[in-house]
Structure 1
Amino acid sequence: MNAIDHPLVTAYLDAVARETSALPAERRAELLADLREHIEVSGTETDAQVRRALDDLGDPRTVAASALAEEPLAASAVRRPGRTRLTVVLLAVAGLLVLFNAFVGAVALLAGLVLLWGSPQWSTRQKVIGTATCAAVPFVVVFGSLALTGSRIGPTELLVIAALSLAVPVAGATTLSRAARR
């Protein structure tokens, strides 16, 4: 088997390609070609040699970070402070907006989630956590209010719902904001 066709090499190159999605297509193709060439000339034949060659190249995230650092336009594409702030604010206030106007709250939540999942700066794990914390309370409030249409909600219950609708999404948005600064 050719070293380039090895599953570990394929996974490694796919990871580098994914992590460098902000690079211009030409630059990304050049980087991947350089990596392929390095692997081919390393004379790998066994699994251990393939692993050693990949270890010599370094972690795909490190390789991608180095390539992104060399490309000023790509680095600015990854970090957009205005978009990050907008995403965090939309997700933080969506829960509270659902209480006052369900349509506006749903639109804010959906817009925030689209921005969150379309951004390369957060990992999938961070996106899932952000989605869960920011969407859980509005989801529970909307479906809880539908289930309790015959029941009366008093001021204490309303205050607790408002506090949770603000606190939980703000906690999730704060986590995302901190992760974006790293």
Structure 2
Amino acid sequence: MTEDLRLDAMAEEYLSEIERAAAALPVNRRAELLADVRSHIVVAQAEAASSSPAGIEDPAVMSQILSKLGDPEAIVAAALADLPSEIPPNSTARTASRVLVKTAVILLLIGGLLLIGWFVLYVLFRSGHAG
């Protein structure tokens, strides 16, 4: 029976506000949020219809249903707060790996220069003592 109820223009506008505010949500989470809110509206309409069949036609009833759901911005903010932090997998490991590679290259270059320097000093001192 709840599927038979149609949403009026006020409810559709409310859902449109949620959809606009939810632009930052991932597509699947935004669709899920809209479906949940739509379901709440339909259930509330069914409850209103069971108490008074003319009640679902009354704009005041729809206004009351929507005000109970809350501000669209607040609903979206709660949905955003529920999202897990978006740290790509292995990004920390990749960053650490890059730092280690750069450090190793720098140390090898410094070590190579030290080795060449020691060799030059050895040759200079050896030729100085031989002469």
TM-score normalised per structure 1: 0.37
Asked if the contact 1:9/1:54 (under 8 Å) is kept, the reply is yes
Alignment partner, residue 41 of structure 1: 43
Alignment partner, residue 60 of structure 1: 72
Structure number with the bigger relative contact order (C-alpha 8 A, sep ≥ 6) is 2
Distance 2:17 2:85 in 1: 21
Distance 1:61 1:19 in 2: 6
Alignment partner, residue 22 of structure 1: 24
Alignment partner, residue 63 of structure 2: 51
Q: Which one has the largest radius of gyration? A: 2
Return the letter of the residue paired with 1:21.
Answer: A
Relative to structure 1, the CA distance from residue 59 to residue 3 in structure 2 (aligned partners, 3 Å threshold; closer, same or farther) is farther
Q: 1:107-131 deviations in whole A, cap 9, x for unaligned?
A: xxxxxxxxxxxxxxxxxxxxxxxxx
Q: 1:19-48 deviations in whole A, cap 9, x for unaligned?
A: 111111111111110111110011250211
Distance 1:59 1:71 in 2: 19
TM-score normalised per structure 2: 0.51
Relative to structure 1, the CA distance from residue 53 to residue 3 in structure 2 (aligned partners, 3 Å threshold; closer, same or farther) is farther
Relative to structure 1, the CA distance from residue 56 to residue 3 in structure 2 (aligned partners, 3 Å threshold; closer, same or farther) is farther
Uncovered stretches (5+) of structure 2, i.e. residues with no partner: 49-55, 88-131
Counterpart of 1:11 (choices 10, 13, 20) is 13
What aligned pairs does 1:146-165 form with structure 2 within 5 A after superposition? none
Distance 1:28 1:73 in 2: 16
The CA RMSD over aligned residues, in Å, is 2.2
Distance 2:14 2:85 in 1: 24
Return the letter of the residue paired with 2:10.
Answer: L
Q: How many percent of aligned residue pairs carry the same amino acid?
A: 39
Q: 1:87-119 deviations in whole A, cap 9, x for unaligned?
A: xxxxxxxxxxxxxxxxxxxxxxxxxxxxxxxxx
Structure 1: which 4+ aligned runs deviate by more than 6 Å? none
What aligned pairs does 1:71-82 form with structure 2 within 5 A after superposition? 71-73=83-85
Uncovered stretches (5+) of structure 1, i.e. residues with no partner: 77-182
User: How many residue pairs were aligned?
Assistant: 74
